[in-house]
Amino acid sequence: MTTTERVIEGLPDETQKLLHAYVKDVKALFREQLEGVLLYGSAVRGEFLVGRSNLNVLLLVSSYDLAVLNGYSAIHRRWSKEQILAPLFLTEAEMGSSAPVFPLEYLEIQEQHRVLGGRDPFVGFRVDSSGLAAEVRQGLMGSLFRLRQRYVEGNAMNEAAVILIPLSITSLLPLLRGIQRIQGRSILYQSDAVIKDVAEHLGLDLQGMQDALQLKRGQISPGHKEIPRLFERYLQAVTTLTGKVANL
């Protein structure tokens, strides 16, 4: 696998240098087994926030076993401190067989990714989206159920809500784009825009999601009394959206 310096528009220079060093480490570990390194998520969409956003990586490998995974765990301890999440380990055969099961995830990566090294497995790749609507509905319901469950697990404390809300809105945003896909509309990748668009087209008040996005970005710092109200607005927005989409 060749490793080259890839420039990603809008990504800070320091982050780009970090990614280049990461690719060199991964190449040294996997050698011939590594076929491609892909970056996806907020770093590609232009929404990366230094110190807040994670870096999402897909490693295309020819094969893997427990020894390889154990080997990666050693460098993961280093790179997780730099906000690089544990990567997706996939072979090309697995991509083909799993895409019909996870069409939304594959569409998201296919449309918004950058190759950091090696080849691009999405060239000529076709995603079977026949199960997309079911996946979006399941994802929304799962997000809602987990939101309730984890709030209770956190003893309904403000500290738990402040951690939970950003995590929840992060997982919800691809589902909002999934709704746009189901309705056959243009896909908006900027988070503010996609929330507004879905709210307008479904006739819903999703202000709680906009508030959650601002909290995630560090644009608001709600006080002790406001946090429960913010969580209530967000919970209501997710509940309303889930019910609406279940009947589309």
Does some domain include residue 7?
no
Copy the structure tokens of residue 192: 């503010």
Which of 57, 87, 118 is the C-terminal boundary of a domain? Answer: 118
Closest CA relative to residue 239, chosen from 146, 135, 132: 146
pLDDT on residue 4: 47
Clarify whether residues 44 and 93 are in a common domain: yes
What would the pLDDT profile of 152-202 be if each residue is shown by its tens digit? Answer: 999 999 999 999 999 999 999 999 999 999 999 999 999 999 999 999 999
Which of 118, 150, 180 is the C-terminal boundary of a domain? Answer: 118
Helix axes 158-182, 207-217, angle to 10 degrees: 120
Task: List Cβ<8 Å contacts ≥24 apart for 164-170.
Answer: 164/231, 165/212, 165/215, 165/216, 165/230, 165/231, 165/234, 166/212, 166/215, 166/216, 168/143, 168/212, 168/234, 168/238, 169/209, 169/212, 169/213, 169/216, 169/234, 170/216
Asked whether the beta carbons of 174 and 202 are under 8 A apart, the reply is no
Residue 52 gets which letter from DSSP? Answer: T
pLDDT on residue 248: 79
Q: Which domain holds residue 140?
A: 132-246
Clarify whether residues 20 and 75 are in a common domain: yes
Q: What are phi and psi of 84, to 5 degrees?
A: -90, 115
Clarify whether residues 93 and 17 are in a common domain: yes
Does some domain include residue 124?
no
Tokens 């544990």 -> residue: 86
Clarify whether residues 95 and 159 are in a common domain: no
Task: Specify the number of domains making up the chain.
Answer: 2
Spatial neighbors of 170 by CB under 8 A, at least 6 apart, are 216
Does some domain include residue 90?
yes
Does some domain include residue 123?
no
Clarify whether residues 99 and 33 are in a common domain: yes
Clarify whether residues 149 and 93 are in a common domain: no
Clarify whether residues 71 and 19 are in a common domain: yes
Task: List Cβ<8 Å contacts ≥24 apart for 88-95.
Answer: 88/57, 88/58, 88/59, 89/59, 89/61, 89/64, 90/58, 90/59, 90/60, 90/61, 91/60, 91/61, 91/62, 91/63, 91/64, 92/35, 92/60, 92/121, 95/60, 95/121, 95/125
CATH classification of the domain holding 139: 1.20.120
Residues of the chain with pLDDT under 50: 3-4
Neighbour count for residue 10 (Cβ, 10 Å): 10
Does some domain include residue 137?
yes
Angle in degrees, CA 248, 202, 101, rounded to 5: 45
Clarify whether residues 139 and 208 are in a common domain: yes
Does some domain include residue 4?
no
Does some domain include residue 223?
yes
Clarify whether residues 230 and 195 are in a common domain: yes
CATH classification of the domain holding 72: 3.30.460.10
Clarify whether residues 149 and 111 are in a common domain: no
Which of 73, 95, 118 is the C-terminal boundary of a domain? Answer: 118
Does some domain include residue 1?
no
Tell me the C-alpha distance between 156 and 234, whole Å: 14
